[in-house]
Structure 1
Amino acid sequence: MVCLSLLSACSEKTEESNSGEVNNTGKKGKVEEIVDEKIPEAARSIELIIEQKAGKLVEKHIEPELEVIGVIDFFQYRNFVQDTFYPIAHKELEIYFDKNRNLTSEQIYDYLVYQLGSGQYKSYYEQLISYEHGYVMPKLPDGEDEIEVVKKQKKTNVVLLMDASGSMKASVNGGVKMELAKESIKKFTEQLQTDTNVALLAYGHKGSGKEADKDLSCKEIETLYPLSSYESNSFTNAINSFWANGWTPLAGAIEKANELLADYKKEEYKNIVYIVSDGIETCGGDPVAAAKKLNESDIEAMVNIIGFDVDDKGQNQLKQVAEAGGGSYSTVRNQSEFEDVIIKKWKPDIFQVFSMQGVTLREIVDHKERLIHIHGKLYHASEREAQRMTNAVYFLQDGEFFSREVESEVVERIKKMQIMRNDHFTQIKDEKDAEARQAEEEIDSAVQAWKEKWSKELEKE
């Protein structure tokens, strides 16, 4: 640390001081001894600059928001520093440098940072470092997760979890949800290859929707068709053996599927779980955690969910469950939509193909605005620190507090640090922008390839 002491004459007691001096109250009193002011060495590395605290004068007189105000409103900052801040700063600088006239250029730089440096770097730098463009690869239905996968895999397990809670008794366009779901499930299983194992589990089918039956309903998750090859009569008997009655232990059903598939490791089996549900968990479980555990286990099962006439709250939860399970969520309102989803393997329709977009212009503009905003704050803080310090150097040299040679050395140091800061901030901004461009290209390329593929597929139909 560089310590700059006030002139000894300023710290010594005068003869009047020793004998007492009349103060502003008219009474004699001892004049307080001036203590040496210790000036810390200013940061010279970018790592330390980021941690830099605001200069004493800046902290006291300039509002943080004003220091980094945008270019459009720059006149607000300019007018304030010229009319208010510089007169205060110049007075303080005159007092100090009048008592410290033999400082080196580096000591002068340290003092200027101590008084005029910006303290805004850390906050905005952390935002810049952690910045994310926000581009997300859209879900591109490819038919590979459903029946087409089943056709290609020698060993495939399909586990069907049927929500049989009381709400499945409700009617939709075409009939009762429970009946329509059963009919569509039977059509789906009939299309499975003979070497595919299938299981059917029902949950919510015991008891009723009354509070007294909640415990029974939540615990009873029944395997009605054990995991084995598909046999039409047996499966039909199984799916016709229950009805919609009680509560919704969705998490428990997923955990049951996990137990059922525990011995079928991903190296040898393709494990797919289909959930047909019309609402959220009502038994206190955590279906998102259960789906995540299932997908991340050694069996690596994919969880696909069909939401049957589900409200917004239910859709939100079911989407999270499907995402946690590495699968897809689709919502349907009637039997036709249901069959389109489960029998057509989540194939996209012609509208989806032509409307699917990669990264949108709006997303690009939003990314650039956010990135420029954060970088701009750092740039303004850096530029205005340099301006304040350069102004101070010229003011002090005009007052002949140091030589022209020292003035040049200090200004050179200020510019050097300014360039280092700005180059570093810009480098990070450019890296973040490059990451966004790469993600944009990858997403757009994937979407374009998907559209071309499915355009050809749809032409064949």
Structure 2
Amino acid sequence: MLRKIIPFALLALLVSGCSENEKAEVTEQLEETVVKEQKGMEKSKEADLSVIDQVVIPTTIEEWKHTEPGLFALDYTLDHETSSWPKDARELSSEEKKQIESVVTATDDTSVMLQALQYYFGSNVYKDLLDKQINYAAVMNEPYLPKPTKEFVAEGNDEKVAPSKAFLLLDASSSMLLSVDGKQKMGIAKIAVKRFAKTLGEDNEVSLYVYGHAGTQEDKDKELSCTQIDEVYPFQSYKEKEFDTTVDAVAAKGWTPLAAAIQTVNSASKDMEGPLTVYIVSDGAETCDGDPIKAAEEFAQDNENRKVNIIGFNVDQKGEDQLKAVAEAGNGEYISANNSEELNNSIAEKWVIPSMTDVVHIKLSGPNGFAVSNAKYSIGQLSLKLNNAVTIESSRFREMIQLLVTEEMITKEQGEELTEMVNQRKDQLLAINKELKTAKDKEVDDEYERIHQNIDAWANEIEKNRAEQ
């Protein structure tokens, strides 16, 4: 108001000593100035509303995903915004009141007022919760299903069975700390080794040796790293829990004593009879000055029941050339795997045929009802948090509306209309959340069904394959 008074006071002062023509000219110029200032003030108000006018009141999952948190709600904690026992909204600061008042005094449109409530006080947890719910994927136990093998071992009456003794050698050198497909090599290799051991079945005896896990890749630790080869899972019947726990504890650290690892297994198996195969998972060549080709040759020398099979995981050309030569010297095979999928699929497909006992075990190892229940429980918890967030946010909006009515910033009728719009918005978001939960629950059911269909189809293929032998 003061800005409006000053120009007119100045006008009176200026025109007091002027002629009539001069007075008219000065008056006209000052009036134009006042009009320009008033238009500028109105334009300023419009500029403020233009930002709020861009706010989208969500009615779809895509719109909800992209809802920005309110400027004055950024300090609300996740617990506050998702509690099953909502707390009252905090007192508004003078700045917050000023901003809300500037909106409701600039417009009578309740739709804009609703946009303002969301712009200033919208929940800050939607993006995170929706992202977790939308991207939730049930992790179910999907057993590895090896294709019918190309390699069999004769054992009396021409019966063809899997090797009964297997030594698994896991490379734990520092290069296994590198990544493939965005995941650490060591983590991928562990999954493959665990699946492989499980595929061998409970009727087979297995052992797990690790090498490269001692010391570091530094020169000062070379001797330690190159001489320590450990049997971390002693030769025995396969026990899934014990084996998996052992594998999980392995850490990649040092050099690559491939030759020493093969020699260690050779010494440990000198007195063993029958088919015996060494399976090596490695991502590189020897780095400890040993001769792995000679070691493999000595292991399989004059004994066709002994083999050294190697899978080279993401190996460079030099390393692959050496590993191929090691496998050849050990009467075995070399398989190249450049990524996690190839590694997981190659070992069992090439080297193992499941027994009927194994088939039954694998069929029973698929996900059960508890896996489905647990997955749906996790989905339900995320959905509940979203429901609570919607309820708390709507309650906050209604409190703001009541404040505006009480302080006579808006009329009672406007308050009622705005409250109804808030309630409709709440119902819309709750409905979207319900649809999302239903869709995620269906994904769980579909995943469960997919896994068991694959298991059944695989079991039928194995049975058919055996019948044709």
Query: Normalising by the residue count of structure 1, what TM-score does the alignment of the two structures yield?
Result: 0.50
Provide the C-alpha distance between the structure 2 equivalents of 1:109 and 1:415, rounded to a whole number of angstroms. Answer: 11
- Of the three residues 371, 377, 380, the one matched with 2:385 is 377
- More deviation in 398-407 or 110-119? 398-407
Q: 1:130 to 1:96 in 2, by over 3 A?
A: closer
Partner of 2:56: 43
Partner of 2:82: 68
- Of the three residues 127, 139, 161, the one matched with 1:122 is 127
Structure 1 segment 263-302 matched on structure 2, within 5 A: 290-292=336-338
- Of the three residues 384, 397, 402, the one matched with 1:389 is 397
Provide the C-alpha distance between the structure 2 equivalents of 1:210 and 1:359, rounded to a whole number of angstroms. Answer: 42
- Please say if residues 169 and 177 of structure 1, whose CA atoms lie closer than 8 Å, have aligned partners that are also in contact: no
Provide the C-alpha distance between the structure 1 equivalents of 2:281 and 2:439, rounded to a whole number of angstroms. Answer: 51
Unaligned runs of at least 5 residues, structure 2: 10-40, 155-166, 170-257, 326-330
Provide the C-alpha distance between the structure 1 equivalents of 2:262 and 2:297, rounded to a whole number of angstroms. Answer: 19
Provide the C-alpha distance between the structure 2 equivalents of 1:203 and 1:443, rounded to a whole number of angstroms. Answer: 27
Q: 1:223 to 1:417 in 2, by over 3 A?
A: farther
- Please say if residues 68 and 124 of structure 2, whose CA atoms lie closer than 8 Å, have aligned partners that are also in contact: yes
Partner of 2:214: none
- Please say if residues 141 and 347 of structure 1, whose CA atoms lie closer than 8 Å, have aligned partners that are also in contact: no
Residue by residue over 1:12-47, the C-alpha shift from the partner in whole angstroms, topping out at 9 and shown as x without a partner, is 5888xx9xxxxxxxxxxxxxx9x9692522323444
Q: 1:253 to 1:243 in 2, by over 3 A?
A: farther
- Of the three residues 239, 262, 269, the one matched with 1:177 is 269
Q: 1:102 to 1:445 in 2, by over 3 A?
A: closer
Partner of 1:424: 432
Partner of 1:145: 149
**In the alignment, does 2:156 pair up with 1:110?**
no
Q: 1:381 to 1:89 in 2, by over 3 A?
A: farther
Provide the C-alpha distance between the structure 2 equivalents of 1:95 and 1:162, rounded to a whole number of angstroms. Answer: 69
Structure 1 segment 38-437 matched on structure 2, within 5 A: 38-39=48-49, 40-41=52-53, 42-45=55-58, 46=60, 47-60=62-75, 62-69=76-83, 71=84, 74=85, 77-78=86-87, 80-81=88-89, 85=90, 87-88=91-92, 93=97, 96-97=100-101, 100=105, 103-140=108-145, 144-146=148-150, 165-170=259-264, 176-177=268-269, 180=272, 183-184=274-275, 211=288, 213-214=289-290, 217=291, 239=304, 255=320, 290-292=336-338, 321=343, 323=344, 325=346, 327=348, 345-349=353-357, 353=361, 356-437=364-445
Q: 1:219 to 1:141 in 2, by over 3 A?
A: closer
Identity of aligned residues (%): 14
- Please say if residues 146 and 346 of structure 1, whose CA atoms lie closer than 8 Å, have aligned partners that are also in contact: no
- Please say if residues 262 and 292 of structure 2, whose CA atoms lie closer than 8 Å, have aligned partners that are also in contact: no
Q: 1:223 to 1:91 in 2, by over 3 A?
A: closer
- Please say if residues 262 and 296 of structure 2, whose CA atoms lie closer than 8 Å, have aligned partners that are also in contact: no
Deviation at 1:127, TM superposition (A): 1.6
Q: Aligned AA for 1:177? A: S
Q: 1:146 to 1:294 in 2, by over 3 A?
A: farther
Q: 1:403 to 1:176 in 2, by over 3 A?
A: closer
Deviation at 1:443, TM superposition (A): 2.8
Provide the C-alpha distance between the structure 1 equivalents of 2:415 and 2:356, rounded to a whole number of angstroms. Answer: 70
Deviation at 1:118, TM superposition (A): 0.9
Q: 1:162 to 1:145 in 2, by over 3 A?
A: same
- Please say if residues 55 and 114 of structure 1, whose CA atoms lie closer than 8 Å, have aligned partners that are also in contact: yes
Residue by residue over 1:388-415, the C-alpha shift from the partner in whole angstroms, topping out at 9 and shown as x without a partner, is 1122223433444333442333223223
- Please say if residues 295 and 326 of structure 1, whose CA atoms lie closer than 8 Å, have aligned partners that are also in contact: no
Provide the C-alpha distance between the structure 2 equivalents of 1:138 and 1:275, rounded to a whole number of angstroms. Answer: 26
Query: Normalising by the residue count of structure 2, what TM-score does the alignment of the two structures yield?
Result: 0.50
Provide the C-alpha distance between the structure 1 equivalents of 2:424 and 2:354, rounded to a whole number of angstroms. Answer: 60
Q: 1:162 to 1:63 in 2, by over 3 A?
A: closer
Q: 1:430 to 1:257 in 2, by over 3 A?
A: farther
Provide the C-alpha distance between the structure 2 equivalents of 1:149 and 1:112, rounded to a whole number of angstroms. Answer: 74
Q: Aligned AA for 1:184? A: P
Q: 1:171 to 1:391 in 2, by over 3 A?
A: closer
- Please say if residues 56 and 114 of structure 1, whose CA atoms lie closer than 8 Å, have aligned partners that are also in contact: yes
- Please say if residues 402 and 415 of structure 2, whose CA atoms lie closer than 8 Å, have aligned partners that are also in contact: yes
SS in 2 for 1:128: helix
Residue by residue over 1:267-289, the C-alpha shift from the partner in whole angstroms, topping out at 9 and shown as x without a partner, is xxxxxxx969xxxxxxxxxx99x
Residue by residue over 1:84-129, the C-alpha shift from the partner in whole angstroms, topping out at 9 and shown as x without a partner, is x1x4379954895498285211122122223321122112222222
Q: Aligned AA for 2:348? A: G
Provide the C-alpha distance between the structure 1 equivalents of 2:318 and 2:142, rounded to a whole number of angstroms. Answer: 30
Provide the C-alpha distance between the structure 2 equivalents of 1:44 and 1:398, rounded to a whole number of angstroms. Answer: 25
Q: 1:122 to 1:12 in 2, by over 3 A?
A: farther
- More deviation in 91-100 or 447-456? 447-456
- Please say if residues 259 and 293 of structure 2, whose CA atoms lie closer than 8 Å, have aligned partners that are also in contact: no
> How many pairs does the alignment contain?
314
Q: Aligned AA for 1:123? A: D
Deviation at 1:259, TM superposition (A): 8.2
Unaligned runs of at least 5 residues, structure 1: 1-8, 19-32, 151-160, 189-199, 225-234, 261-273, 277-286, 297-320, 330-340
Q: 1:410 to 1:326 in 2, by over 3 A?
A: farther
- Please say if residues 263 and 295 of structure 2, whose CA atoms lie closer than 8 Å, have aligned partners that are also in contact: no
Q: 1:210 to 1:418 in 2, by over 3 A?
A: closer
